[in-house]
Structure 1
Amino acid sequence: MPTVILPSKPDAPIAYELYQGDIASNLLVVCLNGLGMTQAGWKPTIKLIRKSGFSPMPWILTYDRFGQGASARDPRESWPNKDPGYAHTLDDVTDDLHELIQTRCPDRSSRIVFMNHSIGAHIARRYADRYPRVVEGIIFLDSNPGNTDYESTWPNPKDPSFNLEQMTPPGTSLDEYEAAYSKMITIFSASAKNNEGFDRRDIKNILPDPSMPKLKGSKYLDKGPWVTVVVHELEQFSQEEWDTMKIPLDMAAMYTQPFRTFNKAHCLVRTIQHRAYDAAFNQDDLTEARKWYASFTENNLPKGQTSYSRSSGPGGQHVNKTESKATTVWSIEELSRGLPKLIRLALRSSKYYSKRNDSITIQAQTQRSRSANTDDNHLKLVEELRKIYGEQVPGTTSSEKIKKYEALEKSARESRLRSKKEQSSKKAFRKGRGVDE
């Protein structure tokens, strides 16, 4: 497995995998592991993505945080201000992730989609808040709550107010409850130490509300990032807690409900979406853009205004003594006239955009002649417009995919209804036993 050295930690390699996408795509999908998990767990998902036929195919980055999988231990462990067993905080992990992206994917760091599991949700939210205008989407998979934990949701059997009959499922003995409580707190308490060294003690102060702060999307979006929240069905989640930790099913069901409420609140960070990619666009705008691209050539573009100056680049004494450096300026107003709406709206996000004169400004000085450098500028503009098209205009969604996403919408609606019924049943159950919500 490849490793990379972060400039700030030269003696601690991080293990990662970068799955190459299409050259035309500058979208980077970053997979964030849960606690105690490694990047290997993402391989089946990535295999499905790469088989999906999505175009242009995004690039995908997985990695093991310091202390996970094949990565080195966190050098912060030896810092004098660190408590033993608490190597890195949420902000430390966020800093490391940003440095990793800038080191390995600098050309794809402005359009990021996070796919995160469990505690990875906090990293995604913190990254989007600290580095605004780069996160385009977040997929929350069974998010771990940041503003609470099992120590708060499970009643403490040592507390004087603890009432076994009212606070636990029918037929639960004190020994059974204390054993289950001890297991959950040992693993999931915010102060519990873990093999990775992830210090979770301050997360509830950093992220006290699952729907706040409101996140800013990438520079290509008018609103916040697209958000999708995926959670286990209550019965399945309870079964997994039994299979992995032998937590009785009825206990897991009773005390997992607040976690489901937390995940629902994540939807308010932006909005939940289950629809085909191109369904998010005005269909007339898509048709206009695709028709334009089908017949697009350099001849369709205006000439722009070109000026010349003395070059400082390679090419011998001739280049440096004559004014062969070409600077070509296309005003946004002039360039927009022949472009479709989806491309026009993205021009000011181009790396060649000059705010000073509201233009696309391109320079070339590698050739000996003025005309050759001018031609280079025009070729760069063509390449840039093709790149913008690839970023802004999705591929055509097949009828099969449309049916698939319609089925997902139906499933999401049915899941919400089931969840409401479960909540109503639980309230009725508790009220019948004299337990307040």
Structure 2
Amino acid sequence: MEDRNITLKTKPGAPLHVSIAHHQPQDERQLSDTLVVFLNGLVLPRAGWFETVEHLSKLRSDSNQPTPALLCYDRYGQGKSDSDPFDIQDSPYGHDARAAIADLHQLLIQVSQDELHRQVEDLRIILVCNSIGCPLARLYAAEHPGRVGAYLFLDSMMANTDFVSVFPDPAEPDFDESQLAEGVTAEGLRHARDKFREFFHPTVPNSERLDRRNLRELLPHASEPALPNAPGGDPPLLTVVGHDWDEFADQCEKGPLAVPKAIINTYMNPAWGTYNEGLTRLVQVTSDVKIAKGCGHFIQKDDPAFVAGKIDGILNELRNRGQ
């Protein structure tokens, strides 16, 4: 991939750092109108996708199939990109999800024209997303219907929760510790609520200064609004992937959260599984949630070959559909 800085015309003086791989054709016509865009979570920047891109390029080359243009980028305040010039400097909160998708669209306009020599309206976009990148993809598609042909959601952030209320509150008057599952204690629940409040509550600022406080209002439901049709009016493809419950619980227990596996498996994993099932209903033709075996939340980090295989499958499905 080629690295470069791109300054958005809407935000002069503050470049975004991007990595671009151009279309690699076996046939000039195949996938020449397709752009795969990788949307980061809050923690892993654009470089977190590079191993996936390498695996994908090899997969496509080995099967004598074309690879479409690929775009990874650091959002404002992330990785090697500048801070958002419109953020208020003396506030811990900056731009919100709506600003992030406006920046994405302007980036796509400029990349389409300057790098791919097309108009963005003539492109079919595939969004490959992790964590908060998945809600951003949903908001982008709603704002720009008819642009996105396929989605790969990798352990989407639960956009409609504060994360803390997933766990019972021992301070509630009707709390009964004797009814808790094996391995779950009131002390453990208080610890879990404190840690998830400290790290994940929507009011917690982040280094990117992406304000998450209104995300529950923007996307209150996992299963709606439905994703709009793809270019040409066809239904979009959607693949929803969830983390491996046991691996995620293990990482939560051994990592800085230090939340016991029993608590994660009793409350957080089932809630996340239900949310992922809701996401599958964003399209008319639903499919089961795919589980990334051995992967925690950052699936592209834990198994980039798995992610590449899913993208390869999407590209092949689009070809089989004649799209």
TM norm. shorter chain > 0.5: yes
Residues 46 and 172 of structure 1: CA distance in aligned 2, closer, same or farther (over 3 Å): same
Q: How does 1:36-115 map to 2 (within 5 A)?
A: 36-53=43-60, 55-78=65-88, 84-106=91-113, 107=118, 109=120, 110-115=123-128
What CA distance in whole angstroms lies between the structure 2 residues aligned with 1:278 and 1:6? 33
Q: 1:35 aligns with which of 36, 42, 66?
A: 42
The answer to whether the 8 Å contact 1:26/1:108 transfers is: no
1:144 and 1:228, CA in 2 relative to 1: closer, same or farther beyond 3 A?
same
Q: CA deviation at 1:219?
A: 2.0
CA shift at 1:186, angstroms? 1.3
CA distance in 2, matches of 1:138, 1:108: 21
Shift of 1:102: 0.8
Is this contact kept in 1: 2:184–2:262, CA < 8 A? Answer: no
Are the aligned partners of 1:77 and 1:85 in contact in 2 as well (CA < 8 Å)? no
**CA gap 1:281/1:149 in 2 versus in 1, 3 angstroms:** same
- Which residue in the other structure is 2:23 paired with? 21
CA RMSD of aligned residues (A): 2.3
Partner of 2:228: 216
Q: 2:281: which partner in 1?
A: 268
| 1:31 aligned counterpart, secondary structure | strand
Provide the residue aligned with 1:195 in structure 2: 207
1:117 aligns with 2:130: yes
Deviation readout 1:197-220 (Å, 9 max, x if unpaired): 111111111111111111223223
- SS of 1:204's partner is helix
Q: Identify the match of residue 161 of structure 2 among 145, 148, 172.
A: 148
In 1, distance between residues paired with 2:8 and 2:314? 37
How many angstroms does 1:90 deviate by? 1.0
Which of 95, 118, 142 is 1:129 aligned to? 142
- Quick one: distance in 1 between partners of 2:56 and 2:136? 22
**199, 216, 221: which is aligned to 1:204?**
216
- Cα distance in 2 for partners of 1:279, 1:198 equals 34
Cα drift, residue 26 of structure 1: 1.6
- Distance in 1 of aligned mates of 2:103 and 2:194: 33
Q: What amino acid maps onto 1:74 in structure 2? A: D
Among 228, 236, 239, which residue is 1:228 paired with?
A: 239
Give the secondary structure class of the aligned counterpart of 2:52.
Answer: helix
2:239 aligned with 1:237: no
> 1:292-330 CA deviation, whole Å, 9 max, x = no partner?
xxxxxxxxxxxxxxxxxxxxxxxxxxxxxxxxxxxxxxx
User: Unpaired runs of 5+ in structure 2?
Assistant: 288-309
Alignment of 1:324-403 (within 5 A): 392=323
Identity within the alignment, %: 31
Q: Is the CA contact 2:37–2:127 (under 8 Å) kept in the aligned structure 1?
A: yes
Matches of 2:21 and 2:150 in 1, distance apart? Answer: 19
The range that moved more, 246-255 or 154-163, is: 154-163
Equivalent residue, structure 1, for 2:182:
170
- What SS class does the counterpart of residue 231 from structure 1 fall into? strand
Structure 2 length normalisation: TM-score? 0.79
Q: Write out per-residue CA displacement over residues 70-122 of structure 1, whole angstroms, 9 at most, x where no aligned residue.
A: 1111222227xxx8222111101100111111112232732100000011110
Shift of the 6–280 alpha-carbon distance from structure 1 to 2, 3 Å rule, reads closer
- Higher RCO (CA-CA < 8 Å; seq separation 6+): 2
2:208 alignment partner, SS class: coil
Runs of 4+ in 1 over 4 A off after TM superposition: 272-282
Following superposition, the deviation at residue 49 of structure 1 comes to: 0.8
Distance (whole Å) between structure 1 residues aligned to residue 314 and residue 80 of structure 2: 36
2:266 to 230, 240, 254: 254
Residues 229-264 of structure 1, C-alpha deviation per residue, up to 9 Å, x if partnerless? 111121122112223222211111112211111011
Q: Counterpart amino acid of 1:180?
A: A
Residue 160 to residue 76, structure 1, CA distance change in 2 (3 Å): farther
Q: Please tell me the residue identity of whatever aligns with 1:252.
A: I
Could you say which structure has the larger radius of gyration?
Answer: 1
Q: Do structure 1's residue 7 and structure 2's residue 14 form an aligned pair? A: no
TM-aligned CA deviation for residue 149 of structure 1: 3.3
Contact 1:33 1:117 in 2 (8 A): yes
Secondary structure in structure 1 of the residue aligned to 2:191: helix
SS at structure 1 position matched to 2:243? coil
Number of residue-to-residue matches in the alignment: 280
Question: Are the aligned partners of 1:22 and 1:58 in contact in 2 as well (CA < 8 Å)?
Answer: yes
What is the CA–CA distance in structure 1 between the aligned matches of 2:141 and 2:314, rounded to whole Å?
A: 24
Q: 1:169 to 1:198 in 2, by over 3 A?
A: farther
The change in CA–CA distance for 1:35 and 1:11 in structure 2 (over 3 A counts) is same
* Alpha-carbon contact 1:28-1:108 (below 8 Å) kept: no
Whether the 8 Å contact between 2:5 and 2:18 is mirrored in structure 1 is yes
